[in-house]
Amino acid sequence: AQKVTQAQTEISVVEKEDVTLDCVYETRDTTYYLFWYKQPPSGELVFLIRRNSFDEQNEISGRYSWNFQKSTSSFNFTITASQVVDSAVYFCALSEAERNSGTYKYIFGTGTRLKVLA
């Protein structure tokens, strides 16, 4: 069955520290997509990245980087030199096509609350 596990409920770091948010997933399919979203206190979910199951290249975008490892079913997210504005809840999500309908089903992890202290 599909499952997304974010074992870290809450992380606190001091500004400028690096922090890694863990995401482990389970899926039966070979074709799937993984996502990260940021939810600041305002409540809106902001899309950060999508990665498909055939693309294991790591990605860097500014201070953000993502490490996708199929061998360990992990899709971890690192923020370098964290800032107070990074404080938010971060969600990892998995989607795969439903066999019968072909529509996509999305499963979200429970989220990791990141607090960056000045």
Partner 1 sequence: SAVISQKPSRDICQRGTSLTIQCQVDSQVTMMFWYRQQPGQSLTLIATANQGSEATYESGFVIDKFPISRPNLTFSTLTVSNMSPEDSSIYLCSVGLGSGNTIYFGEGSWLTVV
Q: Which residues of the chain form contacts with partner 1 (CB under 8 A)?
A: 33, 35, 37, 42-47, 50, 52, 91, 95, 103-104, 106, 108-111
**Which residue lies nearer to partner 1 by CB, 13 or 107?**
107
Distances (CA, A) of 25 to 42, 83, 93: 27, 28, 9
Which string of DSSP letters, residue by residue, matches 9-51? SEEEEETT--EEE--EEE-S-SS-EEEEEEE-TT---EEEEEE
To the nearest whole angstrom, how small is the minimum distance from the Cβ of residue 12 to partner 1? 17
Is 11 exposed, middle or buried (CB count within 10 Å of its CB: 0-12, 13-18, 19+)?
middle
To the nearest whole angstrom, how small is the minimum distance from the Cβ of residue 81 to partner 1? 26
**Which residue lies nearer to partner 1 by CB, 80 or 107?**
107
To the nearest whole angstrom, how small is the minimum distance from the Cβ of residue 113 to partner 1? 9
To the nearest whole angstrom, how small is the minimum distance from the Cβ of residue 18 to partner 1? 25
At residue 20, what is the residue type?
T
Residue 13, beta-bridge partner list: 116
